[in-house]
């Protein structure tokens, strides 16, 4: 189905190739997982498979890519659209219509499909992706995860023979991610759809794959079986890392496979739950009966909570539960219909956004929305200039490991690198409140560990962190408390070890495997185990 021979590609003015002398084949009906550290070339490889490289991106290209008998060098991406469908990391970039149904129809309309055939496919895909209740919704009213499902649905209406997915679960809650992957697996099994998927959250996807393509970051691509890759790869999900640390063989790929080993483990004492609050400190954030709505959609309904200096509070919940709206309300970007939000005693409603930005930093789930300067260091310098915070560009670059990228244009970076740039820029100068919306998008496990360490250091200095995330493993690793939202209301609030271990959906792999209040491999193996 896909034949890659001697593929090399360098972006304009790049010091080294992203891909160098790469060769591999993908058979019809395979589900192949592409893994590698941030910036290793995973997204570039997918773009080579659908013809965006070399036709859209500049640079130096060599070798050949043949997909379903068509050479990507000789055929434009539009010619391949009926054979290859791709969903990008940032679904916002490929949305073109105003409503969900119009977005699903757009590709078929440009292909000149008959209206009756279009209607049939739209209905099938709406049901397949559980989007029927959203069919008439305007796309700007959807959450990031809902947009991701719409982008995938729009590609599926074209009935491609090859589906390329670039981090398809990055903005989905655990239940939605499981439903999506089950759907992809069914398309793969029942229809023989060939799937190539790049993903950092391996705990969600590794058990579905037939084979792994590993990009170490030196331009090469290593093809291997899934279990072989997981036994040796520096990138591995929690259950695999736990199995390695305890000497389980063969290494389990899923919680189900790990249970036969876990049953024979000697009794261990789980870490105790803590609430993360400091009794002698006043809240950094207080909301009381907060209500926010968009047009006729209720986003928040009576939300009340407190967040304290020195703690990390995680906001969790299904897509559309109100997490992003709550963060935006705390940052003064949306006004409440009623109720109040205070930051260190200051009423958010009475403050100008620029005034609030000195103490409160919000990093949105889409880095491109806040990155517009020509270089990484310019982005950081702009934050100091606009907020009046004290600090240095050098300190921010070091904190997020961006020294070598300081003069790079953010638009040319990988998703993970852009995410780190957004963090470095928006958090420069040590704000007292940090609000993060899905901060691990595009991040590999090593970069997530860097994020955890940086947030903990800030908490030691008295910062209050509120993080909205679907990344259960990240929350289990770093959060003190969890606020679980449901349809704009607070459903559950409590210490992280209680909330995550008592949940069927929002539980870590280790919690599902061992029960009790174990959340991470580090809880079992000790803090020496890396993320």
Torsion of CA 74, 76, 79, 83, to 10 degrees: 80
* Residues whose CB falls within 8 Å of the CB of residue 69, separated by 6 or more in sequence, listed in order: none
Distance CA 95, CA 138 (A): 11
Question: Averaged in consecutive runs of 10 residues, what is the pLDDT profile of the chain (531 residues)?
Answer: 95 88 96 94 94 87 94 89 86 86 93 92 91 91 82 91 91 84 87 93 93 96 95 93 94 94 81 58 94 88 96 94 95 94 94 91 87 94 93 95 94 89 94 95 89 95 96 94 95 93 87 89 76 45
Distance CA 529, CA 531 (A): 7
Distance CA 221, CA 213 (A): 6
Distance CA 326, CA 341 (A): 10
Q: Are 149 and 448 in contact (CB under 8 A)?
A: no
Closest Cα to residue 293, out of 339, 361, 355?
Answer: 339
Distance CA 168, CA 264 (A): 36
Q: What is the pLDDT of residue 23?
A: 97
CA dihedral sign of residues 55, 57, 62, 66: negative
Q: For residue 404, is it left (φ>0), alpha (ψ between -120 and 50) or beta?
A: alpha
Enumerate the β-bridge partners of residue 492.
484
At the top level of CATH, the class of 285-507 is: alpha beta
* Residues whose CB falls within 8 Å of the CB of residue 30, separated by 6 or more in sequence, listed in order: 1, 194, 195, 210, 211
Closest Cα to residue 183, out of 146, 128, 145?
Answer: 128
* End-to-end Cα distance, the chain: 35
Distance CA 79, CA 130 (A): 29
Sheet holding 481-486, edge to edge: 360-363, 433-437, 464-468, 312-316, 481-486, 489-495
Closest Cα to residue 72, out of 4, 14, 10?
Answer: 4
Q: Cα separations (Å) of 27 from 2, 99, 223, 238, 376? A: 7, 36, 13, 29, 41
Distance CA 83, CA 69 (A): 10
Q: Are 179 and 187 in contact (CB under 8 A)?
A: no
Does the fold of domain 285-507 match that of domain 2-233? yes
164: cis peptide before it, omega within 30°? Answer: no
- What phi, psi does 229 have (nearest 5°)? -65, -45
| Predicted TM-score (pTM) of this structure | 0.87
Start-end of H helices in 212-363: 226-232, 238-246, 255-262, 323-330, 353-356
Q: What is the pLDDT of residue 531?
A: 45
Closest Cα to residue 355, out of 466, 437, 431?
Answer: 431
- What phi, psi does 161 have (nearest 5°)? -90, -20
Distance CA 276, CA 464 (A): 11
Could you tell me the CATH superfamily of domain 2-233? P-loop containing nucleotide triphosphate hydrolases (3.40.50.300)
SS3 269: coil
Sequence spans of domains, the chain: 2-233, 236-267+508-531, 285-507
Query: Which run of H or of E encompasses 32?
Result: strand 31-35
Please tell me the number of Cα atoms within 13 Å of 392 on its side-chain side: 5
SS3 305: strand
């Amino acid at each position: 189905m896909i034949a890659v021979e001697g593929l090399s590609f360098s972006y304009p003015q790049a010091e080294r190739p992203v891909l160098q002398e790469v060769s591999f084949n993908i058979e019809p009906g395979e589900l192949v997982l592409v893994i590698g550290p941030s910036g290793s070339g995973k997204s570039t490889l997918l773009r080579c498979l659908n013809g965006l490289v070399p036709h859209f991106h500049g640079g130096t290209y060599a070798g050949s890519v043949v997909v379903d008998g068509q050479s990507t060098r000789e055929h434009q991406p539009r010619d391949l659209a009926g054979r290859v469908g791709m969903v990008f990391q940032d679904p916002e970039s490929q949305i073109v219509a105003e409503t969900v149904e119009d977005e699903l129809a757009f590709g078929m309309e440009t292909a000149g499909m008959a209206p009756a055939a279009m209607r049939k496919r739209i209905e099938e895909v709406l049901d397949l992706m559980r989007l029927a209740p959203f069919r008439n919704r305007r796309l700007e009213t959807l959450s990031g995860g809902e947009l991701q499902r719409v982008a995938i649905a729009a590609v599926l209406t074209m009935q491609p023979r090859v589906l390329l997915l670039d981090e398809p679960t990055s903005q989905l809650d655990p239940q939605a991610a499981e439903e999506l992957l089950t759907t992809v697996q069914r398309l793969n099994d029942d229809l023989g759809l060939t799937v190539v998927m790049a993903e950092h959250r391996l705990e969600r996807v590794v058990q579905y794959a037939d084979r792994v393509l590993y990009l170490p970051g030196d331009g090469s691509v290593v093809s291997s079986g899934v279990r072989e890759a997981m036994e040796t790869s520096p990138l591995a999900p929690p259950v695999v890392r736990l199995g390695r640390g305890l000497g389980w063989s063969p290494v389990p790929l899923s919680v189900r496979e790990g249970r036969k080993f876990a049953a024979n483990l000697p009794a261990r004492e789980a870490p105790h739950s803590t609430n993360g609050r400091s009794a002698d400190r006043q809240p950094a954030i207080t909301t009381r009966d907060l209500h926010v709505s968009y047009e006729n959609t209720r986003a928040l309904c009576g939300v009340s909570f407190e967040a304290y200096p020195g703690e990390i509070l995680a906001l969790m919940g299904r897509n559309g539960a109100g997490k992003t709206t709550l963060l935006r309300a705390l940052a003064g970007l949306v006004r409440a219909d009623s109720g109040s939000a205070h930051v260190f005693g200051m009423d958010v409603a009475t403050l100008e956004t620029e005034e609030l930005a000195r103490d409160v930093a919000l990093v949105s789930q889409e880095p491109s929305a806040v990155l517009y300067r020509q270089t990484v260091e310019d982005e950081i310098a702009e934050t100091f200039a606009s907020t009046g915070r004290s600090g240095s560009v050098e300190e921010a670059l070091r904190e997020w490991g961006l020294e070598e990228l300081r003069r790079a244009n953010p638009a040319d970076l990988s998703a993970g690198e852009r995410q780190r740039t957004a963090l470095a820029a928006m958090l420069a100068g040590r704000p007292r409140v940090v609000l993060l919306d899905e901060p691990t998008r595009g991040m590999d496990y090593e970069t997530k560990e860097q994020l955890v360490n940086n947030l903990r250091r800030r908490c030691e200095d008295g910062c209050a962190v509120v993080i909205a995330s679907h990344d259960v493993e990240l929350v289990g690793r770093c959060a003190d408390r969890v606020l679980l939202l449901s349809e704009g209301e607070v459903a559950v609030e409590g210490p992280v070890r209680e909330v995550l271990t008592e949940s069927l959906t929002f539980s870590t792999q280790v919690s599902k495997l061992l029960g009790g209040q174990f959340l991470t491999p580090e809880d079992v193996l000790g803090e020496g185990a890396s993320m």
